[in-house]
Amino acid sequence: MTEPEDKAERHKKRMQARKKIVDAGVARALEERGTVILYTGDGKGKTTAAIGTVTRALGYGYRVFVAQFIKGVWECGEKNLLTQLPEGKYSLHWHEMGTDFTWETQDFDADKAAARALWSKARVALQDEETYLVVLDELTYALNYHWLDKQEVVEAIQQRPLQQTVVITGRGAKQYLKDIADTVSEMRALKHAFSEGIAARKGIEW
């Protein structure tokens, strides 16, 4: 065999072996249900990953509910775009706390009240059979600051309709959130431009 042919043959064998592994994995994954996905860690990419999932679900015409704990006074590009989608064709329900980062508001009671008001809307979505995807963006802060009761949140997520998926984002997710999640990805900051003195950019960071 000439050298390039030998290489092609080796590649083919490797891919056949890989295909067997992938096919076996696919054959094992038979359960059809929604999952809990948790994006945590201190690196960039948690909210953008959640919003990527929102566009995926909307692209198939599914009903999506987004709750943004923390955010709400700043502009954000994804909200500008997605909340302009034609209503008859896409079903997106976007709600936010409408307060600033807690170190800006410095008002515990107001933050707690805003978080609870938002949570009461999220609870309704978590009981709605028609809602395919629920995003609880920056939920970890609302829990870690004790604005919400963790037991109540965990139960509402666990008792959601079988086909509903929940995406939770935020730094510092505690073990109980990791325990109820089916998929946990930790974004680790190997580098972040901000630490190098580069300002957050419109359309990239928000």
The contact pattern for Mg ion, residues 57-96, with x = CB under 5 A and - = no contact, is: ----------------------------------------
| Gyration radius (Cα) of the chain, Å | 21
What residue type is assigned to position 109 of the chain? D
Interacting partner of 95 out of Mg ion, ligand ATP, none (Cβ under 5 to 8 A depending on kind): none
Give min distance, CB of 57 to ligand ATP, in A. 18
Asked if 72 touches ligand ATP (CB under 6 A), the answer is no
Q: How many degrees, rounded to 5, is the angle at CA 165 between CA 102 and CA 181? A: 70
Q: Closest-CB residue for Mg ion?
A: 47
Contact set for ligand ATP, span 33-52 (CB under 6 A): 42-48
Question: Who's near 181: CB < 8 A, 6+ residues apart?
Answer: 35, 36, 37, 38, 168
Residue selected from 40, 47, 102, 164 as contacting Mg ion according to rule CB under 5 A: 47
Decide: 140 and 149 in contact? Cβ < 8 Å.
no
- The 183-186 sheet, strands edge to edge: 91-96, 63-68, 131-137, 165-169, 36-40, 183-186
Taking the complex as a whole, how short is the minimal distance between the CB of residue 169 and Mg ion, in angstroms? Answer: 5
Choose the binding region for Mg ion from 8-16, 19-27, 44-52, 119-127 (rule: CB under 5 A). Answer: 44-52
**Stretch touching Mg ion by CB under 5 A, among 31-39, 47-55, 58-66, 99-107:** 47-55
